[in-house]
Amino acid sequence: MKNFNLIFFLKRRKNYENGPVGIYMRITVDGKRSEITTGRSCEPDKWSIVAGKTTGKTEESKTLNAYLSDIKAKIYEIHRQLILKDETITADVIRDRFLGREEKQITLISVFEEHNRKVEILVGSEYTHGTAERYRTSLKHTVNFLQWKYKLSDIPLKNINHEFISEYDFYLRSVRKCKNNSAVKYLKNFGKIIRICLANEWMTKNPFMNYKHKVKPVERQYLTDSEIKTIASKSMVSDRLEQIRDIFLFSCFTGLAYIDVKQLRPDDIIEGIDGEKWISIKRQKTNVPSRIPLLPTALFLIDRYKDNQLCEIVGTIFPVCSNQKMNWLPCPRKGFVMNVSLARD
């Protein structure tokens, strides 16, 4: 429960000398104040600072005190309604409700879109293209969920609660057919938006408070030496598939992720203290410097594309296509990941 207080007081002007003084109302919630004039005034010698009302016995004084009591009753009723409806309670909110001002509704999708806009601007400095893409996808899922569950294109932040999170989780797993870890990652992205709202005091309660989500360990399968040789020797039906196969093999023999291979440039190849060729880069995901020895197979693959026209134009070592197209490469069995240890043997 937030601390709430209301007082009436006289507020003298800087150049005040004598005569009636304006009566103001001060609303305080958790130490934050909001003041507003009552539209009435009173002689200072007829005002009780402790009682917050006039001390006069005249009919005029009684009418003024009754007016102030009516205002006080209205303010306390506004405060009570905010509690009943579990809405945000601040001094400014109570003031605006009293004045009949239309409350500005901050909505989920508007906050999400503004977040994504800033991420897009900072791509290349603070965020990667992959991160921006994940937030775009997460926003799309959120928009589709609102339409599926509530038939809405947006929703006020005050309506997001534990039930909303649970239903969103159910939607991802049932309608979108997401596996556990994918659903958890989308909710994690969504959680960042909620944290922004909480930090700005647009929300007072964290809807994730009692929600438990955990990434489950995935049992990785690894390619064997025999399977890598099968891929390397397989005859491909097109030049595009051959390029994809070569890039995949290069990843196997260097341990580099897709994005690191895509961005690899001739300047990233250096001569080590042992006189051999090494890759010297900062990994995209971790921004950690890496020094990787180039094994004969990796050097052979680099040499294969030294005269590739696309590589010369873009300035990269390999003509890497999109990640989606890369994933269309036929594999000897499903569920494997590259055996990074092979690049060190």
In tens, the pLDDT along 203-262 reads 988 999 988 878 888 777 788 889 989 988 888 888 888 888 999 999 999 999 888 999
Is residue 134 one of the residues assigned to a domain?
yes
Given this model, what pLDDT does residue 21 score?
A: 93
Is residue 188 one of the residues assigned to a domain?
yes
- CA gap 303, 311 in Å, rounded: 12
Cβ atoms 4, 29 nearer than 8 A: yes
Q: 245 is in which domain, residue-wise? A: 221-343
Is residue 246 one of the residues assigned to a domain?
yes
Residues 235 and 332 in one domain: yes
Residues 126 and 227 in one domain: no
Residue 115, token pair as written in the block: 């977040």
Burial (CB count <10 Å: 0-12, 13-18, 19+), residue 259: middle
Tally of domains within the chain: 3
| Beta-strand pair 269-271/221-222 | unpaired
Is residue 216 one of the residues assigned to a domain?
no
Task: Please name the residues in contact with 292: beta carbons below 8 A apart, sequence gap of 6 or more.
Answer: 254, 255, 256, 278, 279, 343
Is residue 292 one of the residues assigned to a domain?
yes
Beta strands in the chain (DSSP E): 4-11, 21-29, 32-42, 47-48, 53-54, 221-222, 269-271, 277-282, 289-293, 336-337
Among residues 99, 126, 141, the one where a domain terminates is: 99
Residues 267 and 296 in one domain: yes
Residues 188 and 228 in one domain: no
Residues 241 and 311 in one domain: yes
Residues 306 and 237 in one domain: yes
- CA gap 21, 41 in Å, rounded: 5
Residues 95 and 158 in one domain: no
- For the cut 70, the answer to whether the pLDDT of residue 341 exceeds it is no
C-alpha of 91 from chain center = 28
Given this model, what pLDDT does residue 286 score?
A: 75
237 against 194, higher pLDDT: 194
pTM summary value: 0.56
Given this model, what pLDDT does residue 253 score?
A: 92
Is residue 280 one of the residues assigned to a domain?
yes
Residues 182 and 229 in one domain: no
Closest CA to 230 of 305, 336, 341: 336
Given this model, what pLDDT does residue 333 score?
A: 43
259 against 326, higher pLDDT: 259
Residues 126 and 53 in one domain: no
Residues 174 and 269 in one domain: no
Among residues 76, 99, 122, the one where a domain terminates is: 99
Is residue 205 one of the residues assigned to a domain?
no
In tens, the pLDDT along 254-298 reads 999 888 999 999 999 999 899 999 999 988 777 788 899 999 999
Among residues 56, 81, 99, the one where a domain terminates is: 99
Residues 297 and 243 in one domain: yes
In tens, the pLDDT along 93-104 reads 899 999 988 667
Is residue 300 one of the residues assigned to a domain?
yes
Given this model, what pLDDT does residue 174 score?
A: 96
Given this model, what pLDDT does residue 1 score?
A: 59
CATH of residue 315's domain is 1.10.443.10
Cβ atoms 71, 81 nearer than 8 A: no
Residues 13 and 86 in one domain: yes
